[in-house]
Amino acid sequence: MIRLILVPLRMRVRYLQTVLLAAVIALGCTDRGSRPGATLPDGGVCIGSNCSDVSAPIDATTDETAPEASFTVAEKFTCISDWPTQQPAAPAPSLDVPRLALLGIDKSPITPPGDYAVFSAGRIAFSGGNGTLLSYNVSARTYAQQYVSCSDLGEPAIRRDRPGGFVAGCTGIVGLFPDMQRPPGSPLGPDDGVEWGHPLGPNKYEYLNHTCVAPMLVDPDGILYFTATDGSFKAISPSDGKTVWSSVDATMERDSGSPSGKLGIGDRLFFGNSAAFKRSTGTRFTDIMVDGVPVSVQVAAYSHRLIGEARVNGNTPADLVVVDECGNMKWSLGKSNRYEVLVGFDDSIVVGEYKYPTTPAFYRYSIDGELLAGPAKFGESTLLALGADDVLYLAGCARCSDPCDHDFDLEVIAVSESMEVLDRINVGSYCTNASAVLLDDGLMVVMRVGKGATEFVRIQTASPGLARTAWPTIRRDNERTAWVAPW
């Protein structure tokens, strides 16, 4: 798998995201030869101990009477309704602890994870491949491994109906509730903790050996929205997996493969490079266009603004643009690079600008486009999170200074509102894919791929959790819902 290669963090930066779209979609989707999870003749998926008998389908909970959206003609993009409102927040005082202090590193020898991990009820979960879901108990510093009878699990999503439970997709969608009370080393059987299964159809892509599910959106009611490589686009209930609405081939014509859920806000869903849909029915809208170029929406701000990239096609540099809830252009940077964006206090936006081969540059703008700070450079680095005390955290690559068997160490950098370095901490090798959970007690858990292991790097920070802004970290929150709502 592509994730086994240990490379400098730059290789993970978003300017490669669209170029590697098929790989991102197929996280955990390589076929390792396991037969559980085979598609059944009726389109179901074998999830259970009877997987050797492919004539025995699972107890599918799909509601086949759910409405199917029509995508023959897209509706004209309309103003987004039900835009969330939030009382203006101010930065909180920092905690009376060191700005950055390494507490320890916990390792679990399991197949490396994808781009991010999800957090729910004190547990961090990620797909380890081969049909396994790994849960890390943050307070107890213990692991629970769960097995599901399918080839591989994709990126998990939280279950709002069961705190500490998760949903993951493979040949079908499964609702999981891992048992964290098991004694270490106790055996786990296939489907232990699986509460329901939602079958999917046969895969439509030659480069995959089975159906895969792209990263999902999770709305405030817990409804899960996703696309899959069987051509489906669905909304399902987290409590029983039943279909709320469904469409076949909803987004296949728009993107190569099964596009990821990028953003949910109000009555709108955004998937893939530019596709927008109605939350209640899945009806597709025409693209937001700027000067004849479609906008790929990335994040949103409470002040009725969408921030994204406008690019001619998926393989070209893009301009960062800001539009209103109706898709009207407000301002742009007028550059041609790749961008990462977080939303700060007063709806300021923190922008990471990536233009190979130059070092990434970081800026802070007002929501109206006024430059507030930057450009600032911190070496090969990428955005991690914005703290409640308005401290920005980045993950960077520091060249190994001592004799070592690698080129770069991972470092975490704390940056002020004015883009000045407050502190930085080297946490050793390797500098690879990294995402972070930032908790209210200041504990930051950075997940990265180590040498043959998944590592949870525990760092004490002085930030009392994430900033209560519209988008303070990757996929919006520690739960990775990618949904903008009041905190």
Which of 256, 8, 3, 260 shows the shortest CA–CA distance to 127? Answer: 3
Mean pLDDT calculated for residue range 428-451: 87
3 state DSSP class of 10: helix
- The DSSP-derived string for 78-97 is -PPPS--------PPPPPSS
CA–CA separation, 340 and 73 (whole Å): 32
Residue 251 clears pLDDT 60, i.e. is over it: no
Distances (CA, A) of 421 to 257, 290, 392, 414, 417: 40, 36, 9, 6, 10
Structure tokens at 5: 């290669």
Say which residue, 246 or 334, is predicted with more confidence.
246
Percentage of the chain with pLDDT > 70?
75
Q: Which tens digits make up the pLDDT trace of 175-190?
A: 877 665 555 556 666 6
Which of 83, 162, 80, 113 shows the shortest CA–CA distance to 2? Answer: 113
Residue 223: band (very low, low, confident or very high) from pLDDT cuts 50, 70, 90 = very high
Mean pLDDT calculated for residue range 295-312: 92
Instruction: Give the phi and the psi of residue 421 in degrees, each rounded to 5.
Output: -70, 125
Q: How would you class 318 by CB atoms within 10 Å of its CB: exposed for 0-12, middle for 13-18, buried for 19 or more?
A: buried
CA–CA separation, 224 and 236 (whole Å): 5
Residue 212 clears pLDDT 60, i.e. is over it: yes
Of 234-248, 366-380, 442-456, minimum mean pLDDT range: 442-456
Distances (CA, A) of 70 to 15, 188, 283: 33, 43, 7
User: For 224-263, b where at least 16 C-beta lie within 10 A, e where not — what string?
Assistant: bbbbbbbbbbbbbbbbebbbbbbbeebbbebbebbbbbbb
Structure tokens at 419: 């883009």
Give the number of other Cβ atoms within 10 Å of residue 86's Cβ: 16
Give me the domains of the chain, ranges plus CATH numbers.
2-59+78-484 (2.130.10.10)
CA–CA separation, 357 and 483 (whole Å): 33
Residues 307, 349 contacting (CB under 8 angstroms): yes
Residue with tokens 């911190």: 378
pTM score, two decimals?
0.85
CA–CA separation, 302 and 455 (whole Å): 35
